[in-house]
Structure 1
Amino acid sequence: MPEHATTVDRAPATSPGETRTVLEEAARILGEDRVLRPRDEADESRLLGPNTSLFRSRRVAAVLRPATAEQVAEIVGLFSRTPDSGSLHTVSTGRNWGLGSREPAQDGATVLDLGGLDRVRDLDLDAGWAVIEPGVTQGGLSRLLEGTPRITNVTVSAASTSVLGNALDRGVGLRGQRTEDLAGLEVILPGGERVRVGWWPAPGRTAPLYPHGLGPSALPLFVQSNLGVVTAAVVRLPPRPEAVRVTRLTFHHADLAAVTDTVRRWVAQGLTRGVPRIYDPAAARSYGGDGNACMAHLPVDGTPASVEALTSVLTDEAHRCGLFTGVSSTEGTDPGHPLHEITGLVERAYAGDPDLADRLFEDKMGVPAHEVDSAAGFLFFLPLLPFAGDAVARADGLLREVAEETGVRLSATLHLLGPDLIDCVVAMKFAHETEAAERAHRALDRLYAAYAAAGFTPYRLDVDHAGERDALAPDPAAVALTRRLKALLDPNDAIAPGRYR
């Protein structure tokens, strides 16, 4: 399938002979069956297979599939030897859908596929943490925690997506920002040295989980970072709620600003838990909307009595304000309600149990998870907004302008991350063919420009917009500081050149 052609940064020139030597040594470490090489020059752009966004397929030197963190350290050491050794682009399960899937930012990289590192190394249900590797999926971790007093912070994506990969790119779960779940990281630095930053378990250690430690904390340096390769993490496991209820509200699109301000008051006053969500009419379709009205999901959890009380307060407030065309909190408990199954899946996700059958995910994408890259057309744009009605209305207006200008179907979901911040998830679905992809990519470019001009900057970047960090940074000196750290730690540019550079 042809992809959308773009102009992107090219990797610095390296010595093909030196890269071949490094790959031969890597094959001796991993075994030839764990090294995928292109058959010829044309195959370099086909090695990773298709990607759902139809980004230009980058030329790849090889794909390496280590089985242990020790092998990762050896591989990183090889690629760090000289500037001509080549560079590594790391993926976990490779399901970074809408932002690049498995694609590097630049041509010429060797892909380090960590999907084979899939162990839960350690687990403490009393203290509330697990040590997981990059290949551990949210479905796998939730199955391990089934019937225990702890849960994992799941997203609405497929069960087969990586917990750690998503957290390291600042993904958002239904319990909050997944970056906040990270308590410790095991990192392979350029050269192959292993360091553990943040909090890490040790035999006989009684210190409570506290990621900040003493002195400067190095943990945040390795989030959205090309300073090292993360091979494991300590992730927090929230307590399992005794009860969960989701109040469903519908309202006219014209009332979006007023509803936003009203819901902000409820969030600020603690009437909801987790991450409430507001959907525009297109996004609401996946949750039983009719395509004309907006919708909100307001979760409450806790003891059965507290859930009953807070739900009653929320529904009373919603009826009293007069903004909503529908107010309901019984879909999940009423088997006869037409939205019972959908609401049940939503409530279970808020309770830490992902939809292992991917029913909602497949309904939204139109294909199963294993076919997304080959059969679906999909892009993400992920800006942050102030939690204020006028800001949300402004962002919504820009979205409608771009949709009308390009003819691309756009949908928006607002994740309410506390009383002051909104993560706006803009999804673009398109036919998996060249003309539709070109329109969608034009829409994506327009969204980047229009939202930046309005002061709404993204918190995650796709592979074609990796260079936007300079233009969007509030302080160029801060970007320069991270580049000095990169030059110090990785002088030969061995890890992910071009990605969040």
Structure 2
Amino acid sequence: MPELTTAVDSPVTAPPGPGTAALRAALDAAARVLGEDRVARAADDAERSRLLGPNTSLFRSRRVAAVLRPTTAEQVREIVELFSREPDSGSLHAVSTGRNWGLGSREPAQDDVVVLDLGGLDRVRTLDLDAGWAVVEPGVTQGQLSRLLSHTPRLVNVTVSAAETSIVGNALDRGVGMRGQRTEDLVGLEVVLPGGETVRVGWWPTAGRTAPVYPHGLGPSALPLFVQSNLGVVTAAVIRLPPRPEAGRVIRLSFPAPALAEVTDAVRRWVAQGLTRGVPRIYDPAAGQAYGGAEGEYLVHLPVDGTAEAVEALTGILTAEARRTGLFTDISATDGSDPSHPNHEVTRLVERGYAGDPDITDTLFRAKMGVGADKVDTAAGFLFFLPLLPFTGEAVAHADRLLREAAAETGVRLSATLHLLGPDLIDCVVAMKFPHEEEAAERAHRALDLLYASFAEAGFTPYRLDIDHAGQRDALSVDAAAVALTRRLKAVLDPNNAIAPGRYR
């Protein structure tokens, strides 16, 4: 179908300039819906570039026409309807809590959009501990929900980021938690479509409904259309709450750099045979420092959980397997249970994370970032690169070489964590920390560009994009016609471009 391929090459429609009469009218109407105190407008071009404040990655600050801060789903519906009326009304860029650190924070990919800040939608609407689900709004944080679940038989799949990060925002951008990919936690979405219609896709609780949680429904499933999507604004999600394990432990293994490929293949066998739970991790020497890793050595975290007997059995099996390989310089399964062990506190925090309890005080987060969550955007320099790798020793060693080459060429400190998502797939989280100043930022962004190029050439494509690489979607797509299909859907659902293209245009 030639029209699909043609659509891929079509230019993205630019949002209207900030001075159009239609945009001013939409903002005036939005102020009547929200109250003037929940609308921040920029008076001139200089202020438009400052309206969102700094971002930790030192991406160029985009010009923003205004920031709107609704507190209810109904207000969101009214605002989306306002901006859908005509092409010159402007485009909305939705954020949850705005802590998309390393990929753009609150910044949109394009200039002259209106930021729709959903942080004020912060209710846990419903919680069903028997069936294992919760309905949460975009402003609900993982710390907030985990506190509600404390001392209950259910848990939330948390990430290793700060406690005050959004559950819905991270899941919609395909983030990874300590127990699995967060997209797998999504079973239903409440979405405001362009034009103001609200739909609920996937599974949604209704009064008297006894059907078990099943997100796929009958016929084509619409839920995946709204993940990394500009087809609607999500105002709530149903997320799974897995059963809390009775016991848990993290086994720690250390090994030298030359053993990376062999260790990767050994750990893959254990993952494939179901000897671990959640998402095991391999940290390079830089990433492992925050977790008590030995200087110059790689660190492995192998989580096990279940009944107390199952944990003891799996621990014994895995430590015996590790010893038989002869690859590891240290094998320990008691760090979290032995108060005298030097890594006791950090291991206990990791074990609690696998059990669904985020580090509420952000102890590990501060150790990694050097500042608290409230200072990341103003004081820290930080970029993310997030490629996917095949789970093979050869692929991991190749990726490691590419990282070392980029670091050597730019002088930027890189750290890598491998999230082992199953027997065949690795999420490679590459973090770049740098002083929060211009020269260091330029080198870090140069390293980021090199990684996008070298990893793509190797066939290792990213699964999340930052705001400066939004245009990479076409180049990295397996099938140009598939990308064009999503743009045809966009043209049908949102002819006036009310919802901004964002990072996945």
Task: Report TM bin, short chain.
Answer: over 0.9
Whether 1:35 aligns to 2:39 is yes
The aligned counterpart of 2:28 is 24
**Residue 215 of structure 2, aligned match among 211, 217, 228:** 211
**Residue 82 of structure 2, aligned match among 78, 85, 96:** 78
The aligned counterpart of 1:432 is 436
SS in 2 for 1:414: strand
Whether 1:361 aligns to 2:361 is no
Whether 1:327 aligns to 2:351 is no
RMSD value over aligned CA atoms? 1.0
Residue type at the aligned position of 2:81: G
| Deviation string, structure 1 residues 38-97 (Cα, Å, up to 9, x no partner) | 132210000000000000000000000001000000000011111100000000000000
The aligned counterpart of 1:4 is none
**Within 2, Cα distance between the matches of 1:341 and 1:293?**
20
| Deviation string, structure 1 residues 345-388 (Cα, Å, up to 9, x no partner) | 00000000000000000010000000000000000000000000
Cα pair 1:9 1:498 within 8 Å, conserved: no
The aligned counterpart of 1:236 is 240
**Within 2, Cα distance between the matches of 1:12 and 1:397?**
41
Equivalence map 1:47-66=2 (5 Å): 47-66=51-70
Whether 1:142 aligns to 2:167 is no
**Within 1, Cα distance between the matches of 2:14 and 2:360?**
39
Normalising to structure 1: TM-score of the pair?
0.98
The aligned counterpart of 2:5 is none
In structure 1, stretches of 5+ residues that fail to align are 1-7
Cα pair 1:138 1:152 within 8 Å, conserved: yes
Whether 1:110 aligns to 2:120 is no
Per-residue deviation, 1:9: 8.1
Cα pair 2:466 2:503 within 8 Å, conserved: no
The aligned counterpart of 2:205 is 201
Cα pair 2:254 2:294 within 8 Å, conserved: no
In structure 2, stretches of 5+ residues that fail to align are 1-10
Cα pair 1:9 1:106 within 8 Å, conserved: no
Whether 1:181 aligns to 2:185 is yes
Equivalence map 1:55-454=2 (5 Å): 55-454=59-458
The aligned counterpart of 2:490 is 486
Cα pair 1:10 1:106 within 8 Å, conserved: no
| Deviation string, structure 1 residues 423-448 (Cα, Å, up to 9, x no partner) | 00000000000000000000000000
Whether 1:477 aligns to 2:486 is no
**Within 1, Cα distance between the matches of 2:294 and 2:201?**
48
Per-residue deviation, 1:291: 3.1
Cα pair 2:283 2:300 within 8 Å, conserved: yes
Cα pair 2:142 2:158 within 8 Å, conserved: yes
SS in 2 for 1:139: helix
Cα pair 2:16 2:89 within 8 Å, conserved: no
**Within 1, Cα distance between the matches of 2:260 and 2:313?**
27
Cα pair 2:154 2:244 within 8 Å, conserved: yes
Per-residue deviation, 1:498: 4.4
The aligned counterpart of 2:6 is none
| Deviation string, structure 1 residues 202-257 (Cα, Å, up to 9, x no partner) | 00001000000000000000000000000000000010011010000000111100
SS in 2 for 1:115: helix
Cα pair 2:180 2:278 within 8 Å, conserved: yes
Residue type at the aligned position of 2:93: H
**Within 1, Cα distance between the matches of 2:325 and 2:218?**
48
Cα pair 1:11 1:497 within 8 Å, conserved: no
Per-residue deviation, 1:497: 2.2
SS in 2 for 1:499: helix
Q: How many residues are matched? A: 494
Percent identity between the two aligned chains: 77
| Deviation string, structure 1 residues 410-462 (Cα, Å, up to 9, x no partner) | 00000000000000000000000000000000000000000000000000000
The aligned counterpart of 1:496 is 500
**Within 2, Cα distance between the matches of 1:185 and 1:13?**
30
